[in-house]
Structure 1
Amino acid sequence: MNDRNRELIALANAEVEAYKSKVEQDPYRLTYHIMPPVGLLNDPNGFIQYRGTYHLFYQWNPFATEHGAKFWGHYTSKDLVHWQHEKIALAPGDWFDKNGCYSGSAVEHDGKIKLIYTGNVKDKDGNRETYQCLAVSENGVDFEKQGVVVELPDGYTAHFRDPKVWQHNGSWYMVIGAQSKDLTGKAVLLRSTDLKTWEHLGPIAGAHMEPFADFGYMWECPDLFELDGRDVLIFSPQGIEPEGIKYNNLYQAGYVVGDMDYETVRYKHGSFVEMDRGFEFYAPQTTLDEKGRRILFGWLGIPEEREGDHPTLKHNWIHAMTLPRELRLIDGKLIQKPVEELKQLRKTETVYENVRLTEEPEAFAGIEGKALELFVEAKQRLSGSFTINIRNHVTVHFNDEKQLLSLKRISFVDHASVEERHCFLKELKNLRVFLDASSIELFANDGEEVFTARMYPDPQDVSVTFVGKGTGFLRLTGYQL
C-alpha cells in the first residue's frame, strides 16, 4: 500500500470518529440495516461468503453526503443479521483509481479473496478514463492492489464499469455495465483463465439488441447467474421513460430471464421486469452462499434522485442497504424473500386471529413500533379494499377490484404532497412488512412483488392502524425487532 492510500484511510477514519456522536444521535438512524458510519453509502460491492463468513463491501464517500471519490467500506457477518464493521478495504490512492474505487465484485481463488473493481480517473477538464482493477487478500481484511487488468475495449465510451466475475466450466467470466459509442446501454462479456488477462467477447444484451429497441443510455451493475435451471441477468438501466405504473423512478433495477450459450457467446432472453416497485432500490448484487442459496443485497437509494433532501444529511450520513433476500425463479418470475436468518431479530410475537377490518381505523396492541415485522395473511380471498397506515406517514393499500397494490408516502421534499408507487396483483394472499426507523420493505405473496422505500415520519409516532371495506378475514402477526 502506498503512502497516498494510507493517508486517505487515516483521513476517512478520522472523519468517522469526528462525527460518530452526531451520526448516532439521528432519530432516523436504522436499527437493523447496514448503514455508513458517516457520509454517503451507495452500491453493494464484493458480496461473497468466504471461509464461512459473509463479506459485504460498499461504495463509500466518508467526507460528504454526496457522491465523490469512492472508497470501499467493508462489513462482515456470520449470519447475515449481526454485522461487524471492518477496516477500509480500498482507498482511491493510485493513478488508476484516483477519482474513485468504483463498483465491482469478489471471488475466491487460490484460497484468497480477490476483488475486481472499476478504477475511475478524470483529468483536469473532467474527461473520464476507466480501468478494471484487481486487489487480493489472504485474510479477507487486508487488501493489496494488483493494478489494472482490463483497459477500455474499442466500441465503448469511458462509461464501462461495475465488473461482476464468476467461474463457469473452468474459465472466469466478467460482465460489465457499459455504454457503446452510439450512446446506448450494454452488458458486455469478457473471459479469462487467471483473472489477470481478459479477452473481450462482446455485448450479450443491450439496447437495440433483441428483444430490446431503445432501452437506456447506460446499463449499470450487471450480474449474470444461473438460478433454478435458467440464466438471470440483473442490471440497472438509466434513461428509461415511465410507462404507466412502470419505471417511475429516475433509474430502474430489474432483470431478464434467458439462457446463456457460453460457446457462441449468445444470451437469448425475455422482457425486462422491475425487481422492486418502491421508491428507493438500485444496483443489486448477488452471491451464491455455502448453503446453495442465491442471496441479494440492494442499495436502499437511487442516484441523483432527491438525494439532497433526505433529513439524515443534518446528521452527516445518507443511505443504507436493503435486507438480504433469497432469490428463487418460479414460473419465470424472480421471487425475493427475506433470508431465514432474519427471524433472529424477533423479540416478542403478537397474533390476532380472524380479524375483520372496518371502515373505522383500528390499532392492535403489540402491532406498532419503530422496528417491527408485520405479517398479514388473508384467511379467505379478500374482496373490496384495505389499508395499513404506518406512523401517519406511509400507507399500504390493496384494491381487489382493480387488482392493485399501492405504497404511498408523504414526500420528504415538500412534506405536503403524497407520492405513489403501484403494482398489479391478481390476488393478495399475504404481506410481510419490515419497518425500521426510516425504511419500509414490503414483500407481497411470499416475495412475488416487493416495495422498498425510505420514510421520515415523526420519530415519536410508532402507530400502525388498519382500515377495511368489504374484506375477508385476516390473521395479523407482529414481531418487535
Structure 2
Amino acid sequence: MLASNQKTEHEEVIRKANEHINEQSKGAQEEPFRLNYHFMPPVGWMNDPNGLIHFRGEYHLFYQYYPYKSIWGPMHWGHAKSKDLIHWTHLPVALAPSEEYDKGEEGGYGVWSGSAVQADGKLVLFYTGHVDGRAPVEVQCMAESADGVVFKKHPANPVIGKAPDGARFGFRDPKVWKQGDSWYMVVGSGQDGKGQALLYRSATLTEWEYMGVAAESDGTKGDMWECPDLFPLGDKHVLAISPMNMNGAKNWLMVGEMDYETGKFKPEYEARLDEGFDFYAAQTLLDDKGRRIVIAWMDMWGSKLISEERGWYGAMTLPRELVLTPQGTVVSRPIRELEALREAHWISESLLLQDGEIRCWNQPDGNPLEIIAWLSKGDDEKVSVVFNLSSSEDDREKTTVAYSFRDRILTVDRSESGIGDGGVNRIVLPESSSSEVKLHMFLDRSSLEIFVNDGEKVITNRIYPGDDSRTFKVTATGGKAKVTLEGWELGNIWN
C-alpha cells in the first residue's frame, strides 16, 4: 500500500504534464494562427473530442492530447469546462498513460478516445487503452472522479479485455449511454473490409455483455469505423461515425431505428454530417435543456502541418445543435449561445448587384466575424454570387465562396487561402434553393464554418491567410443578384 505522501504513477505522470503546460502555454498563445472563439489546447497537440457531458451544471470537454509537442504523441486526456459551451476554463490533465494496458515503451500507445457518463454521483470516463505490440493492442477501460477533476483508473481495468470473434481492424473509441435500466456501449471496429459498430450491454459498468454488430458498412463506407456515437434524436436514433478509407467522406451520419432487444440498428437515411475538409471524430452530448449538441475535431489526419514549432495544434468546431426534421433528415445549427460573442455590428447592407459589380469592405484585425448572407437571383438564370473572404488587396490570397443559381452548386475554394492545404468543396443544394439561399458564415483567424439554409448543409475548413489578407468582397456574375448582408465582429473568448 502506498504511504499517504506517495503518488501513484498515474498521478506523477499527470503532475509532470501539468507542470509542462504551465511553463509552455504563454509562448503557444502568441502564435499568430491562434483562434479567437474556438476551443484550442493551451499548448501541444489536440485531436478527438472525448467525454462530452453536462455534469453538475457545467459542460465538460475532454480531448485527445499530447502536451509536450505540437505533433501527435502518446495520448493523454486534456480537460476543460464551461457554463455556456463558448467560454472555457482549462483544467488539469484528466488521464495519462501509466498502466500496462495503456503505456508502451515506444511507438503508438496511450489513453485513446472515449466518452463520459454520470453514475452514482460520479463522473465516469470510458476510454481505449492502446499499446502497439501488446496482445491485445486495444482494450476498453474506465476511470472515475467524485469531483469531476481528479480521476482514478478503475481496478477492474480493462473492463473489456479483448475484441470479439476473431481478427479485427481496430477495437476502440467506446461511447457509453443509458437506455432504460441498462448501460450500452458502442465500439468502433472493422472486419473483412467493412467498418462496424459493435454493441455491448451492462448493468454495472464494469461487466459487459457483447450483443453483436449493431451496424456495418455495405462495402462502400470504409473498412474501420472510428468514434461511433449512437443516440436518440426525436423519434429516431442516429449513428454518427468517422469512417476510415471511405471514398469522398471522413464523417458520416445515419438515421434509423434501433432495436435494443436484438441490438441492431437499421438505417433509413444517410448523409455526411459536414461537407468540409476539417471535421472528424464528432461526439455528441445531451444537455439539461434537452438539446443534442455535437462538437468535432476541426482538423484532419494527413493535413499539412503549418509548422511543428508553432507550440500548439488542433481546435474544435463551434458547438452545433442537431435537429431531426419532419422529413427524417438531420440539420446542424450553431447553438444560440454564440450570439453572446457579437460585439460591433460590422455590416448591414441590402445590395442589388449588377453583373460584374464588386463591393468591398475591410475586415477587422484578426478576422473574427459572423456574417449572414441572404442571396436572391434576378431574372437571369445564369447568375452566381461570389464572396472572397480574407482576401489580399491584389486577390492573390483569398478564400472563395460561390453559389450558382442555375446549377444550385455551392463552391468553397481554399486553393489560394494561404499557407495551408488547398482543395475545393462542391455541394449541390436542393430544388428549394433555386431562387434563394441563406449562408451563415463564421470566420475566425484560421477557420471558416458555413451553415447553409439553417443547417441543411455545413462546410468546415481550416484556412491560414496572411496578416495583410483582411478584405471582404462580394460580386455578381452572369446577371443581377440581390444580396442582403448582416455581420458582427466577434469577441475573443481567451482574453
How far has the Cα of 1:266 moved from its partner? 1.9
Q: 2:251: which partner in 1?
A: 253
Indicate conservation of the 8 Å contact 2:279/2:299, yes or no: yes
Quickly say closer, same or farther: Cα 1:436–1:351, change in 2 above 3 A. Answer: closer
The one-character-per-residue Cα deviations of 1:79-138 (angstroms, maximum 9, x if unpaired) are 111100001110111111112100000011111111011111223xx7761111111111
Q: 1:293: which partner in 2?
A: 291
| Corresponding residue SS for 1:7 | helix
Q: 2:142: which partner in 1?
A: 134
Matches within 5 A, 1:431-450: 431-450=439-458
Taking the aligned partners of 2:462 and 2:307, their CA distance within structure 1 comes to 11
**Amino acid paired to 2:225:** W
Q: 1:363: which partner in 2?
A: 360
Taking the aligned partners of 1:351 and 1:442, their CA distance within structure 2 comes to 18
Q: 2:211: which partner in 1?
A: 201
How far has the Cα of 1:16 moved from its partner? 1.9
Q: Which moved more, 1:467-476 or 1:107-116?
A: 467-476
Quickly say closer, same or farther: Cα 1:50–1:201, change in 2 above 3 A. Answer: same
Flag structure 1 segments of 5+ consecutive residues without an equivalent. none
Taking the aligned partners of 1:21 and 1:111, their CA distance within structure 2 comes to 36
Q: 2:343: which partner in 1?
A: 347
Indicate conservation of the 8 Å contact 2:363/2:390, yes or no: no
Quickly say closer, same or farther: Cα 1:232–1:381, change in 2 above 3 A. Answer: farther
How many percent identity over aligned positions?
40
Taking the aligned partners of 2:19 and 2:123, their CA distance within structure 1 comes to 27
Taking the aligned partners of 1:47 and 1:376, their CA distance within structure 2 comes to 32
Q: 2:262: which partner in 1?
A: 264
2:142 aligned with 1:143: no
Quickly say closer, same or farther: Cα 1:49–1:471, change in 2 above 3 A. Answer: farther
How far has the Cα of 1:372 moved from its partner? 0.4
Taking the aligned partners of 2:211 and 2:131, their CA distance within structure 1 comes to 24
**Amino acid paired to 1:75:** A
Taking the aligned partners of 2:141 and 2:474, their CA distance within structure 1 comes to 52
Quickly say closer, same or farther: Cα 1:418–1:117, change in 2 above 3 A. Answer: closer
TM superposition score normalised by structure 1 = 0.91
How far has the Cα of 1:462 moved from its partner? 1.9
2:185 aligned with 1:174: yes
How far has the Cα of 1:156 moved from its partner? 4.4
| Corresponding residue SS for 1:88 | strand
Q: 2:175: which partner in 1?
A: 164
Taking the aligned partners of 1:48 and 1:411, their CA distance within structure 2 comes to 38
Indicate conservation of the 8 Å contact 2:94/2:149, yes or no: yes
**Amino acid paired to 1:355:** L
Indicate conservation of the 8 Å contact 2:58/2:81, yes or no: yes
Taking the aligned partners of 1:338 and 1:354, their CA distance within structure 2 comes to 24
**Amino acid paired to 1:419:** G
Aligned residues: 462
2:109 aligned with 1:90: no
**Amino acid paired to 1:440:** L
Flag structure 2 segments of 5+ consecutive residues without an equivalent. 1-5, 104-108, 392-397, 491-495
2:69 aligned with 1:64: yes
Q: CA RMSD in A?
A: 2.1
2:426 aligned with 1:422: yes
Q: Which moved more, 1:461-470 or 1:219-228?
A: 461-470
**Amino acid paired to 1:233:** L
Indicate conservation of the 8 Å contact 1:367/1:477, yes or no: no
Quickly say closer, same or farther: Cα 1:418–1:200, change in 2 above 3 A. Answer: closer
Indicate conservation of the 8 Å contact 1:381/1:429, yes or no: no
Indicate conservation of the 8 Å contact 2:237/2:255, yes or no: yes
How far has the Cα of 1:18 moved from its partner? 3.7
